[in-house]
Homo-oligomer: A and B are copies of this chain.
Amino acid sequence: MTTAKRDTYTPETLLSVAVQVFNERGYDGTSMEHLSKAAGISKSSIYHHVAGKEELLQRAVSRALDGLFAVLEETGAVRGRAVERVEYVTRRTVEVLVAELPYVTLLLRVRGNTRTERWALERRREFDHQVAELLKAAAADGDLRADVDIRLATRLLFGMVNSLVEWYRPHPGTTADQLADAVVHMALDGLRTVRG
């Protein structure tokens, strides 16, 4: 039922163009003129598809946040020790980050100048908080080193994960699985009570 000719924009296809430009120039550094040039249509045509620049941002960060919170739901369903859930949430977050790379990239760079941006920051804080609770539980189980500050460890771990968006590009010889392996291995081998 999908049309064979795919020349006109939908909000979704326009979004993919916009997000790419936002990530290259920064959201505030991107004008409607920039978007218009990149999409190959006029400024006013963009307004036919979306209400404005901020709607594009809203759609982008929503998509990223949906992916991340889905990971938290999956993680809650994982049986076993808390440390296994820590590994699971880390691995799946890397995968979502890779799968939704431009959207998550944009989310991670939001500053808080508009209502949309402040909402995104608030939801990110909620995600971080829930991850920190997982590490706390793993520490309570005795599966993480007793001498590490859990809040600090969470921040370093997800700082490492989030930094992927700064350099990872699809298929330069590295898959999401390999990335997740490297992150989990580097992080948990430094956090585990029992050494291999």
Contacts and interface: CB of A to CB of B under 8 A. Distances in A.
Interface of A: 24-26, 28-29, 109, 111-113, 148-149, 152-153, 155-156, 158-160, 162-164, 166-167, 174, 179, 182-183, 185-191, 195-196
Contacts of A187: 186, 190
Nearest to A161: B159
Contacts of A189: 189-190
A152 to B, nearest CB: 5
Nearest to A186: B190
A153 B152 CA distance: 20
Oligomeric state, in copies: 2
Given A167-B155, A187-B190, A29 B160 contact: no
A147 to B, nearest CB: 9
B186 A153 contact: yes
27 contacts: A24-B111, A24-B112, A25-B113, A26-B26, A28-B28, A29-B111, A29-B113, A109-B109, A148-B185, A148-B186, A149-B182, A152-B179, A152-B182, A153-B186, A156-B160, A156-B163, A156-B183, A158-B163, A159-B159, A159-B163, A159-B164, A159-B166, A163-B163, A186-B190, A189-B190, A195-B195, A195-B196
Nearest to A195: B195
A24 B112 CA distance: 8
Contacts of A188: 190
A26 B28 contact: yes
A156 B28 contact: no
A52 to B, nearest CB: 16
A124 B116 CA distance: 31
